[in-house]
Structure 1
Amino acid sequence: MLEDDQDQAALFTEWLKAAGHTCEHFKSGKAFIHNIKRDSYDALILDWMVPDMDGYEVLGWVRENFDWPIPVVFVTARDEEDDIVRALEQGADDYIVKPAKQRELAARIAAVVRRVAPVEDGQNLIDFDPFHIDLANHEVKRDGQRIDVTQKEYELIVFLFRNIGRVLSRAHILESVWGRNPDINTRTVDTHVSRIRTKLGLAPEMGWKLSSIYQHGYRLERLSAT
C-alpha cells in the first residue's frame, strides 16, 4: 500500500487484516517501487498525492515494467472525473474516493484479486494440459503419467502453477512453501526450482518456461499449447 498519511495507512491495514490479508505500507513512491521490484504482491493500493513520485506515476511504472496484470486500486481524495478517467485509462483496476468504507474496500480488493486468480475445478484439480495436479491426492501428472516428486517439490509446483505468469520473489516463494523457517535460505528455492524444471520438462520446446528473473526470483510461463 502506498499511503503517506500514517493514520490512514494504519486504519486501512487494520481493515485488510480483518479481511484476511497481510499488508505492507510505504510512504513514498520511490520506496514503494523499490520494494515491489523485490517482493511479490497480490494487489497494490495507491494514494495519488504522495512524496517524490505520485501514485499516477507509480501506476505508469507498474504497467510499463510488470508483464502480468497485477491488480491496482486507487484510494485517494482526488474526486474529479478527469482524475478518475486518467487513472483507469492508465491501467487502474478500480478507484475509490476517500473517505473509504471498510466493507467496500475489502470487497473491491477481493474482486480485483479474483479476476486474475487461476481457476481450479470442483474436483480439486489444477489442469494445464499436459499437466494435471491432483490436490486431493498430492499427485502431479504429465500426459497422464505420474511424476515422482517430494512433498516440498509438490508444494512448490502447486504454488507456481497457481501463479502462472507472475514474477515471484525468492523470499515470497520461501515463505509460502517453507514458512518462516530461519534454517532455510533462498538457495533451497533455487535447488528445488532446478529439480522441478527437469522433472516436469519445463522447457520452451515443450511450450513452457520456468525463468530465473535476475536479482528477483522466478516466473512460470505457458508459451503455447502443447
Structure 2
Amino acid sequence: MRLLVIEDNRQLVANLFEYFEARGHVLDAAPDGATGLHLATSQAYDALVVDWMLPRMDGAEVLRRLRQQHHCETPAIMLTARDELPDKIAGFRAGADDYLTKPFDLPELEIRLEALLLRAHGRAQRKVLQVEDLVLDLSTLEARRGGRLLHLYPACRKLLETLMRASPAAVSRGELEYSLWGDEPPEGDLLRSHVYELRRVVDGPFERKLIQTLPRVGYRLAAVAGERLDG
C-alpha cells in the first residue's frame, strides 16, 4: 500500500512511518495542505491520510479540491481532533471516505485503510476516457489513438486527462497550470511547451486534429477539420 500522509505534526508522522513501513507499506508525507494537494494530484497513491487543521490549506479544502477540481477518487481518511457530529458531516461532505478522531490506535487506522482499499477495488475502477479515436485508460495510464500507443511523459498525460475530462468544453490556461503545479506554477511559459509536446504526439501523426487553441482563453480537445492551430 502506498500512502500519502498530509499532516503537520512531526511526531505523529514519524509514528505513522515507523508503524506502516515496518509492515511493508510505502509512505510519503506533506507538512501542509498545498503540498499535499500537489502530491496527491501529481503522483499515484492507494490512499490518503489527511489531517484537518493544516497550514496553507486545511484538510477539508484539500479533499474538496481533489474531488471537485481534479476528479481524484483516491480513498481518503481524515484524522482530526474535531469529534463533533457537524465536523464529521462536513468532513464527509468535503470528500472523506472515512473519519478517525485523535487520539487513535495505529492498528485501527491500518484496518480502516485496508477496508477502504477493499471497497475501492470492488468498484471496478478500470476507467477509460475517449474522444473520437483517442483513448486514455486511467487504470494503466496508456493512451492510444486509432489503436496506436502514444508515448507521453507524465505532465503531458496529466494535461491530456484534464482536456479529455472537459471535452468538448474549453479549459483555461489557469486551470491547466493548476492541474500540473497547483498554486505554485514555475517561472516562464512551461505550459506552452507541454501543450506543444502533447500536440506533437496526439495530433502530429494524424490528419484529423483534436487539440485546439482558443486565443485569450486556453485550450480544448475536440474533433476539428483543417490545420492544427499554433500553441
TM-score greater than 0.5 by the shorter chain: yes
> Where in structure 2 are the equivalents of 1:160-175 lying within 5 Å?
165-166=138-139
CA distance in 2, matches of 1:80, 1:60: 20
Q: Deviations over 1:98-138 (max 9, x none)?
A: 11211111111111112122689xxxxxx99xxxxxxxxxx
Greater mean alpha carbon deviation, residues 12-21 or residues 210-219: 210-219
Query: Equivalent residue of 1:99, what SS?
Result: coil
C-alpha change, 1:27 and 1:111, in structure 2 (3 Å) is same
Deviation at 1:68, TM superposition (A): 4.5
Pick the aligned partner of 1:215 from 129, 141, 155.
155
What residue ranges of structure 2 are gaps of 5+ in the alignment?
128-136, 165-231
C-alpha change, 1:5 and 1:32, in structure 2 (3 Å) is same
Query: Equivalent residue of 1:115, what SS?
Result: helix
CA distance in 1, matches of 2:49, 2:148: 34
Kindly, what percent of the aligned residue pairs are identical? Answer: 32
Q: Which has the higher contact order (CA 8 A, sep 6+)?
A: 1
Provide TM-score, normalisation by structure 1.
Answer: 0.55
Provide TM-score, normalisation by structure 2.
Answer: 0.54
C-alpha change, 1:202 and 1:97, in structure 2 (3 Å) is farther
Q: Choose between structure 1 and 2: higher strand proportion.
A: 2
What residue ranges of structure 1 are gaps of 5+ in the alignment?
121-126, 129-163, 169-192, 204-209, 222-226
- Which residue identity lines up with residue 60 of structure 1 in the other structure? R
Query: What is the aligned partner in structure 2 of residue 76 from structure 1?
Result: 80
- Which residue identity lines up with residue 78 of structure 1 in the other structure? R
C-alpha change, 1:87 and 1:166, in structure 2 (3 Å) is farther
**Count of residue pairs brought into register by the alignment:** 147
Answer yes or no: is 1:106 the counterpart of 2:110.
yes
RMSD: 3.4
